[in-house]
Amino acid sequence: MPGVMRRLPSIIRGLAAAAFAAALPLLIVTSTVRWVAGDAAYYRHGFRAFDAAERTGLPLAELDRAGRQIIDYFENDADALRIIVTIDGAEEPLFGEREVAHMRDVKTLMRALFRAHELSLVVVLGYLALPVLWAGERSVRSLAKLVLAALAAGAVVVGVIAGFAVVGFDRAWTTFHEVAFRNELWRLDPTTDRLIQMFPEPFWQQTTYLVGALIAVQAAAVAAAAGIFLLRTRRAGEEPPSVR
């Protein structure tokens, strides 16, 4: 019933609004990262742009197949990433044990990101469905203001991280690994380890900038929609009490 939300303590309604404000920028970030991480075409582009065939000594067809298997690995229940490639008619594992162990850690990180993506989606949709659409607790104008506040807060956090990446990507990339992983399996040898030969640091630098640009475009589009709505309703003298 619409009155249910109004009878809830203000602290609960405030917490719900805060959860929405935190979830909205998180949804944009995790959606973008998940899309890029699961895009086989982007992997294929990277293999060609950064000479993965020359670095690894593997044909592009084998690298493309390995890229698809890595994407599948992030989504399936396999514990270890075992990829067999064919070189001069002989089959051999693509990655050594250290690389396989590191990819296990990467999968744990990616699965946590996937869960964060799903949770943020539930929170955003739940807030729109319950306090806004069903209960009429918030007007569309107040929702638009909350969206702008959420995106502004998210922009500060993402902006600080982006600043570190732009000023000194090498150091930022190292710091990320030191924070994200509790071991040093990520320290691979580019002369022998195929994982880093396939995905060298310039690939990750390009990917970081791409993800940042996509996040900025999406956030700007949502902010523009909210801002335009506020301007139009103010000029028209409209102040709808709710979306009901």
The tens digit of pLDDT for each residue in 16-33 reads 889 999 999 999 999 999
- At residue 137 the predicted structure's pLDDT band, cuts being 50, 70 and 90, is low
Closest CA to 157 of 34, 24, 36: 24
Considering just the CA atoms, what is the radius of gyration of the chain in Å? Answer: 23
* Whether the Cβ atoms of residue 171 and residue 77 lie closer than 8 Å to each other: no
Residue-level pLDDT at 208: 94
Q: What is the DSSP string of the chain?
A: -HHHHHHS-HHHHHHHHHHHHHHHHHHHHHHHHHHHHT-HHHHHHHHHHTTHHHHHT--HHHHHHHHHHHHHHHHS--SS---EEEETTEEEESS-HHHHHHHHHHHHHHHHHHHHHHHHHHHHHHHIIIIIIIT--S-HHHHHHHHHHHHHHHHHHHHHHHHHHHH-HHHHHHHHHHHH-SSSTT---TTT-HHHHHS-HHHHHHHHHHHHHHHHHHHHHHHHHHHHHHHHHHHTT---S---
> What are the tens digits of pLDDT across the range 29-79?
999 999 999 999 999 999 999 999 999 999 999 999 999 999 999 999 999
Q: Could you identify the residue written with the tokens 């995790």?
A: 30
Query: CA–CA separation, 160 vs 164, rounded Å?
Result: 7
- Whole-number Å distance between alpha carbons of 179 and 173: 10
Work out the pLDDT band at 244, boundaries 50, 70, 90: very low
pLDDT at res. 243: 46
pLDDT of residue 1: 45
Task: Domain ranges for the chain, please list them.
Answer: 2-235
91, β-bridge pairs? 86
**Distance between CA atoms of 54 and 197, rounded to whole angstroms?**
9
As a whole number of angstroms, the distance between CA 242 and CA 244 comes to 5
At 106-122, the pLDDT tens digits run: 999 999 999 999 999 99
pLDDT at position 4 over 90: no
Question: Would you say 147 and 24 are in contact if contact means Cβ atoms under 8 Å apart?
Answer: yes
Q: Tens digit of pLDDT for each residue in 194-216?
A: 999 999 999 999 999 999 999 99
